[in-house]
């Protein structure tokens, strides 16, 4: 608790730097990563991150010391070349994109390692700490660097806000964007440049390998919660920043623990949580939706069967479950559970082991059979589906026909009341 208070009251100036650094780095990468994610180019971030290494080394060789501007400039150039090469290889040979990414990523990285060992051999005293770019050293963030990260963040934020509409179009439908006169090339250039910039900013704090997670993971987690792009961007940033600060705290509270990996662990935890419990798209809620659908289908099938039993008599007489299963076979347990639900919903009555439809139940059963037959008629009249197959088609779709589609079908077929079953 004491370290917790110490950390979050920011008594230690280093804590302030690290937290601010995480704030800017993680927000930048989450913003730009969302677009990479939507364009299904997440692994490009991976390629860029690995490919920055030789650029950083060359920047160092030029500057002679760890001048951040030189290092970032080198990183920017080599990141850019790597993306250009990936696209060039994919467009001019049989090689697929992921292979091209792998080729560029590993050759650039290997070359970076070669340069790194070369620099180490030269005995330049300034090179100490250059290998932070491999694994990252969030605790080493200094005041000047914060300023630089803030500038990069502002550039990315302003570009995203300013070009928001165009970026949406480019991400979701580049062909359409091109056809209405947007310069797709320019915006792809912009997105790539911003991605390189965001990764270059974070690389010293998180290292080349973990940096790609900051591009990929926040958007993937946020995507499970919303369809709305604005909310998606905000959520991705929140997830990323929370894990960033959390990682910094773990590293502060327990000495010897690295910040970067803990950021990724927390981020992945959020992702696992989202995958499991997000409403609608999470595994748990999808499971429940599935179960409910199954129940609904059983109930409707029972009602339909009852209707067909008494269609000619125009009125229902009490029947036993054996009578029902002689018309259409149901699993006993499924059937009993279905009966119970129908009774609960006031669609069915039970007296001395015999069942009968309530008035509401009679209406409902008629409605479902009507939907089934409407669809059968539609398939028969408007499509080339064989009459042997229309029943199974209708069997599948009757449960999901909405009142709007029902009206549409009525209008299309000119049928009112109950369609006949006489095809």
Partner 1 sequence: MNDIFILLTASFVAINAALLGAFLILRKMAMVGDAISHAVLPGIVVAYYFSGNKTSVFLLIGATLSGVLATLIIDFFSKKAKVQSDAAIGITYTLLFAVGMIMISGWMQGNADIDQECVLYGDIALINMDKIMIDDNLYIGPRALYVELIAALIIGGSLLFGFKGFKLLSFNEDYAKALGVKTNRWHYYLMALVALTTVVSFEVVGAVLVVGFLIIPPATAQLVTRKLPAMLFFAALFGVVSVVTGYLIALWLDVSLTGMMVTVAGVIFGIIFTIQRIMKSSKPKLVIEFPSTK
Q: Tell whether residue 259 is a contact of partner 1 (CB under 8 A).
A: no
Tell me whether residue 82 or residue 365 sits nearer to partner 1 (CB atom). 82
Chain centre to alpha carbon of residue 14: 35
Q: How many residues bind partner 1 (CB under 8 A)?
A: 61
Query: Exposed, middle or buried by CB within 10 Å (0-12, 13-18, 19+), for 174?
Result: middle
Per CB under 8 A, 212 contacts partner 1? yes
- The verdict on 110 binding partner 1 (CB under 8 A) reads yes
Closest approach, Cβ 195 to partner 1, in A, equals 13
Q: CA neighbours within 13 Å on the CB side: how many for 377?
A: 20
DSSP letters spanning 388-401: TTHHHHHHHHGGG-
Residue from the set 67, 268, 316, 321 that interacts with partner 1 by CB under 8 A: 268
At its nearest, how many Å lie between partner 1 and the CB of residue 108? Answer: 8
- Binding residue for partner 1, selected from 11, 106, 317, 320, defined by CB under 8 A: 106
Of the pair 94, 411, the CB lying nearest partner 1 is at 94
Cα pseudo-dihedral 394, 400, 402, 408, rounded to 10: -30
Identity of the residue, 208 or 401, whose beta carbon is nearer to partner 1 in the bound complex: 208
Note whether 157 binds partner 1 by CB under 8 A. no
| CA distance linking residue 206 with residue 213, whole number of Å | 10
3-state SS, residue 86: helix
Compute the least distance from the CB of residue 386 to partner 1, in Å: 25
Q: Which of residues 34-73 bind partner 1 (CB under 8 A)?
A: 37, 40-43, 45-46, 50
CB 400, min distance to partner 1, A: 20
138 burial type by CB count under 10 A (0-12 exposed, 13-18 middle, 19+ buried): buried
Show contacts with partner 1 in window 281-300 (CB under 8 A).
281, 283
Stretch that binds partner 1, among 259-267, 303-311, 319-327, 410-418 (CB under 8 A): 259-267
Q: Does 124 bind partner 1 (CB under 8 A)?
A: no
R_g over Cα of the chain: 31
Across the strands, what pairs with 349? 356
The one among 67, 102, 188, 343 contacting partner 1 by CB under 8 A: 102
Give the residue from 132, 140, 157 showing the smallest Cα distance to 21: 140
- Helix H segments across 123-255? 132-135, 143-162, 164-172, 174-179, 184-223, 229-253
Q: How far apart are CA 286 and CA 277, in angstroms?
A: 9
* Site membership for partner 1, residue 30 (CB under 8 A): no
What size, in residues, is the chain?
A: 423
139 interacts with partner 1 by CB under 8 A = no
Stretch that binds partner 1, among 155-163, 174-182, 195-203, 257-265 (CB under 8 A): 257-265
**What single string gives the DSSP state of each residue in 42-81?**
HHHHHHHHHHHHHHHHHHHHHHSS--HHHHHHHHHHHHHH
Q: Does 145 bind partner 1 (CB under 8 A)?
A: no
Binding site for partner 1 (CB under 8 A): 37, 40-43, 45-46, 50, 89, 92-96, 98-103, 105-118, 121, 131, 134-135, 209-210, 212-213, 215-217, 219-220, 223, 256-258, 260-262, 264-265, 268, 271, 275, 281, 283
């Amino acid at each position: 608790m004491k370290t917790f208070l110490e950390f979050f009251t920011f008594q230690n100036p280093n804590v302030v730097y690290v937290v601010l650094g995480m704030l800017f780095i993680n927000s930048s990468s989450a913003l730009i990563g969302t677009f990479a994610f939507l364009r299904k180019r997440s692994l490009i971030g991976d390629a860029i991150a690995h490919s920055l290494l030789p650029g950083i080394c060359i920047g160092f060789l030029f500057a002679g010391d760890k001048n951040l501007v030189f290092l970032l400039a080198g990183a920017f150039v080599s990141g850019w070349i790597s993306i250009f090469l990936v696209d060039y290889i994919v467009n001019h040979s049989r090689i697929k994109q992921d292979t091209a990414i792998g080729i560029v990523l590993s050759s650039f990285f290997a070359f970076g390692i070669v340069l790194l060992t070369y620099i180490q051999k030269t005995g330049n005293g300034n090179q100490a700490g250059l290998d932070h770019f491999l694994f990252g050293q969030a605790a080493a963030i200094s005041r000047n660097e914060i300023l630089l990260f803030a500038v990069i963040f502002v550039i990315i934020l302003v570009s995203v806000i300013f070009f928001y509409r165009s970026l949406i179009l480019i991400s979701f439908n580049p062909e359409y964007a091109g056809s209405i006169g947007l310069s797709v090339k320019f915006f792809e250039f912009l997105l790539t440049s911003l991605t390189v910039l965001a990764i270059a900013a974070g690389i010293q704090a998180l290292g080349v390998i973990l940096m790609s997670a900051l591009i990929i993971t926040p958007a993937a987690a946020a995507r499970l919660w919303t369809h709305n792009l604005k909310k998606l961007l905000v959520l991705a940033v929140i997830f990323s920043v929370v894990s960033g600060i959390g990682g910094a705290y773990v590293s502060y509270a327990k000495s010897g623990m690295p910040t970067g990996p803990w950021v990724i662990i927390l981020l992945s935890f959020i992702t696992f949580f989202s995958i499991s419990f997000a409403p609608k798209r999470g595994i748990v809620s999808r499971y429940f939706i599935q179960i409910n659908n199954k129940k609904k289908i059983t109930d409707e099938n029972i009602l339909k069967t009852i209707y067909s039993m008494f269609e000619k008599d125009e009125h229902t007489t009490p029947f036993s479950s054996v009578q029902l299963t002689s018309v259409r076979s149901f699993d006993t347990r499924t059937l009993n559970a279905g009966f119970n639900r129908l009774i609960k919903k006031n669609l069915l009555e039970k007296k001395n082991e015999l069942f009968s439809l309530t008035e509401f139940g009679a209406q409902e059963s008629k409605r479902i059979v009507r939907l089934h037959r409407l669809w059968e008629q539609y398939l028969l009249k408007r499509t080339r589906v064989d009459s042997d197959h229309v029943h199974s088609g209708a069997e599948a779709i009757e449960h999901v026909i909405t009142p709007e589609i029902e009206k549409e079908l009525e209008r299309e077929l000119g049928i009112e009341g109950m369609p006949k079953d006489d095809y």
